[in-house]
Amino acid sequence: MTLRVVIAGASGYAGGEVARLLADHPEFGALTLTAHSHAGDSVASVHPHLASLASQSFEATTPEVLAGHDVVVLALPHGESGSLGETLVTSGDQRLLIDLGADRRLVDSTAWATFYGGVHHPPFVYGMPELPRHDGASQRERIAEASAIVAPGCNATAVTLAMAPLLAAGMIQVDDISAVLAVGSSGAGRSLRVDLLGAELLGSAKPYAVGGTHRHLPEIAQNLELASGSAVSVSMTPVLVPMSRGILATVSAKLASPQSAKKLHEALAGAYANEPFVRVMELGTFPATADVLGSNTIALGVAIDEAVNRVIVVAAMDNLVKGTAGAAVQSMNIALGLPEGMGLSVNGVAP
C-alpha cells in the first residue's frame, strides 16, 4: 500500500522531523507539506537537509489542502491544531489523524485551563505504547484501534518512561518524585526568541518554568497515575542547555521499602524487555544525549542512593525523534497495522 500523507506545520522542527522520517518510510508515497508564514517557499530554503524533498514547496495549512489524504499529521502550535483537528474529526475524511501538539493530551479540563488556557478539546488516544497501565489495559492495543492519536510531550515521555514501571510495581512512593531535565533548544521550536539566540544560549545553562509551572507537569501526573492507580506528586525543573537536540532527565523518587539496585534494575529491564525503543543500560552505566541523537531510542540508567533512600533513573532521548516525530511514526505504524519500527532506527548519530 502507498499511503498519502500530509504534514501540517512541516516548516517547523517537529513537522520537519516527521517529513525526514516519512521520506524514508517504505509505505508512504508523496508527502504533502504545509506551512504558515513559509507557505509558498521551497522546502530546500527551510530544510536544506531534506534533499529528497528539496524540489517541493510548502502549501498553505487549510482544511482543503489537508483533505484527500490517508494520514494527516498536525505539527502546529497548541491551540491551532485543536480547532483544525475538530474540523478533521468531523469530516472523517482521513483514515488516521495524529496531533503532535498538546491540545489532545489532557483529560482534565481544569488542568488544561491552569497550564494552557483556551478551548479544551476531547483527548485523542495517547501515543505511548510502552506506558504500563494499572487497569491492565494495553496502551498499544488502544493505539492499534485508534483513528485519532496524540503524540506525547517530549519531557513527559522522558519522565514517564523513567518512573512508570517502578510505580506500577509499587517500588517507589507516589508523593515524592523529582525530575531535573537538561533540554536542548529545539524543544522550543523554530520561533525567533532572544533567549534562544546563540549569544544568549552558548556557554550557559538556564532554568525555566521553575516552581511547578511547566506545561508537561499535568501530562506526567496523568501518565504516572495511569501506571500507579493513585494520585502522584511530581516536581519538575527543566534547564535549557547549549545543545540543539536532546533531553537528559534525572528523575528520582523515594523508595517505598528498602530495595537493592539490582532489583530496581530488574524491574525496569523486565518491564521494557519487549520494547524495541526503550534501552535499559547495564547496571552501573548511564546514557548521554549523544548516544541517542537521531534515533527513536530512549535510554535509561538506574542507581540507588542508599543514604537518602532514593532511586535515580537517568533518561536520555532525542526530543525531536522519540520525543515527538519518531513516537508519532511508531504510533502511526501500530494504528495502520504496519511493523511498529518501520522507518525508525534504534541507532543514533555520533559523534
Ligand X SMILES: NC(=O)c1ccc[n+]([C@@H]2O[C@H](COP(=O)([O-])OP(=O)(O)OC[C@H]3O[C@@H](n4cnc5c(N)ncnc54)[C@H](OP(=O)(O)O)[C@@H]3O)[C@@H](O)[C@H]2O)c1
Active site residues: 154
Q: How many Cα atoms sit within 13 Å of 16 on the Cβ side?
A: 20
Q: Please name the residue ranges forming H helices in 286-343.
A: 326-335
Binds ligand X by CB under 6 A, chosen from 5, 14, 227, 314? 14
Binds ligand X by CB under 6 A, chosen from 27, 80, 86, 93? 80
Asked whether the CA dihedral 47, 50, 56, 61 is positive or negative, the reply is: negative
CA distance linking residue 100 with residue 30, whole number of Å:
21
By CB under 6 A, is residue 13 in contact with ligand X?
yes
Q: How far is the CB of 339 from ligand X (least distance, A)?
A: 24
By CB under 6 A, is residue 100 in contact with ligand X?
yes
List Cβ<8 Å contacts ≥24 apart for 89-92: 89/148, 91/63, 91/67
CA distance linking residue 128 with residue 114, whole number of Å:
24
Binds ligand X by CB under 6 A, chosen from 82, 85, 129, 187? 187
Tell me how many degrees the CA angle 163-298-53 measures, rounded to the nearest 5: 140
Asked whether the CA dihedral 229, 279, 296, 320 is positive or negative, the reply is: positive
Helix (H, G, I), strand (E, B) or coil at 199: helix
Residue found under cell 499535568 = 218
Q: How far is the CB of 211 from ligand X (least distance, A)?
A: 21
By CB under 6 A, is residue 189 in contact with ligand X?
yes
User: Toward ligand X, which CB reaches closer, 85 or 311?
Assistant: 85
Q: How far is the CB of 80 from ligand X (least distance, A)?
A: 4
By CB under 6 A, is residue 324 in contact with ligand X?
yes
Q: How far is the CB of 129 from ligand X (least distance, A)?
A: 17
By CB under 6 A, is residue 330 in contact with ligand X?
no
| Among the residue ranges 4-12, 85-93, 109-117, 265-273, the one whose residues contact ligand X (CB under 6 A) | 4-12
Helix (H, G, I), strand (E, B) or coil at 125: strand
By CB under 6 A, is residue 218 in contact with ligand X?
no
By CB under 6 A, is residue 15 in contact with ligand X?
yes
Residues 31-50 touching ligand X, rule: CB under 6 A, are 35-38
Q: How far is the CB of 125 from ligand X (least distance, A)?
A: 16
Asked whether the CA dihedral 41, 19, 335, 155 is positive or negative, the reply is: negative
Chain residues that interact with ligand X, rule: CB under 6 A: 9, 11-15, 35-38, 61, 75-78, 80, 100-102, 153-154, 186-187, 189-191, 319-320, 323-324
